[in-house]
Structure formats: structure tokens, C-alpha cells
Chains A and B, each alone.
Chain A
Amino acid sequence: DGGITQSPKYLFRKEGQNVTLSCEQNLNHDAMYWYRQDPGQGLRLIYYSQIVNDFQKGDIAEGYSVSREKKESFPLTVTSAQKNPTAFYLCASGLAGGQDTQYFGPGTRLTVL
């Protein structure tokens, strides 16, 4: 089955720790995205990548880092510099360079203890 997978589904972090969220897709999409969702707010873009080995900051990149070493994978690291990391994190992918739909993964809920 083609799709986007995210792991883990739930993640607990102690303050001061870095954690990495996984996102994998087998849709052969060039573009991948990370969004953050908080209660009562719209999804906000953290980082995006339109091609391997290249990525750009979104609206709320501070305290996050990403890599794009493979077309299928776009991991997100939430660093200790992120002041309020508790949120629902969503990964998406789509064809780059056009009017194309973004398809979302199932999400990872991160809780800071």
C-alpha cells in the first residue's frame, strides 16, 4: 500500500532532551512537509523540502531541525531549544512545483514531561 507513515504515534520527552520524529513515504513524492497542530489553531508549517538534500524553513522553524538524505524520508528533530514542544506533529508529502495536493501521515503526539 502506498502512503505516509510516521513513528512513533506517541512520544514523551523530558525537558532538555532532543527527540526525532520519523516520516517515511512510498508515494514517490518529491516534496515533504512538517506541520505542527495545536488546539484551537490551524496547522503551521515548520520545515519543507522540495528535493533531496535541500530544505527550507517554514513559519515556525525555531527549535527544530530536519534532514533530507533520501527521497522517502524526512525526519524532524525537536531540540531542547523549542520552548513549547508539546503538540501534534504532522508530516505531509506531495508532487513539487505545481498545484498539487499534500497528503498527510497519521501524526505523532509529542508530550514534554
Chain B
Amino acid sequence: EDQVTQSPEALRLQEGESSSLNCSYTVSGLRGLFWYRQDPGKGPEFLFTLYSAGEEKEKERLKATLTKKESFLHITAPKPEDSATYLCAVQATQGGSEKLVFGKGTKLTVNP
């Protein structure tokens, strides 16, 4: 069974304190790994898609990386507006559908 585990569940940082969020996964065959940001009471906002081990993508203070077993979302010099829940999801190659399997998310709080 495809599984996604995100850690930590919650993370508190001071403004400017860089850190990383982890997403470990087990899938029969990885079609893609997705990162989303979700603010309270809103729908997830797409951040990145990674397809193969070694791939990296960046957007402002965020950088996503992928290995064969996990993905990291690195946050460099975070600001309070980066506070949100970050969701990781994987799409498997088997099953014939585009189903995403989601982790439970990491709630990030950045204090000024």
C-alpha cells in the first residue's frame, strides 16, 4: 500500500531561521511527488512537482528535493507569511488512475 509520512507534525521557527520539512514515501512506482501549501480554511496551493530522484526545484525561499525514498522542503530565511501547513503527496504509476496519496502535513509557524 502506498504511504506518505511527513515530519515533523509541527515546526516553530524564528524569522530567518532556516530548516527543512521531510516527506518519506513508499510507493510501487513513483509517477510524481507534489508539495502544496495550505492556509487555514483554504484549499491547498500548488508549490512543486518532482518526478525523479535528484531533481530539485526552487521558488523564492523554498527549495524541494527528491531522493528515491524521501523529499525535503527546505525553507531558507523564513518570514512570518510562510506560516502554513505544507502537504506532500505522491502519485503512483500503478492503478491506472491519477490518485494522489497525501501525508498529514507539517504545520509551520514562523515567529517575527
Contact = CB atoms under 8 A, between A and B. Distances in A.
A104 B34 contact: no
Contacts of A77: none
B4 A96 contact: no
A20 to B, nearest CB: 19
Interface in A43-68: 43-45, 48, 50, 56, 58
Main secondary structure of the interface of B (DSSP, over half): strand
Interface in B12-62: 31-32, 34, 36, 41-46, 49, 51
A104 B46 CA distance: 8
Interface of B: 4, 31-32, 34, 36, 41-46, 49, 51, 87, 89, 91, 97-105
Contacts of B41: 88, 107, 109
Interface string A85-113: 00010100010111111111111010000
| Shortest 4 CB-CB contacts between residues of A and residues of B | A42-B102, A104-B43, A43-B102, A99-B32
A58 B98 contact: no
A91 B51 CA distance: 23
A96 B98 contact: yes
B43 A106 contact: yes
B43 A41 contact: no
A103 B46 contact: yes
Contacts of A90: 43-44
A13 B97 CA distance: 32
Contacts of B91: 99
Interface residues of A, number: 29
Nearest to B105: A42
Contacts of B101: 42
A31 interface: yes
A66 to B, nearest CB: 15
A2 interface: no
A103 B49 CA distance: 12
A100 B102 contact: no
Contacts of B43: 4, 6, 90, 104-107
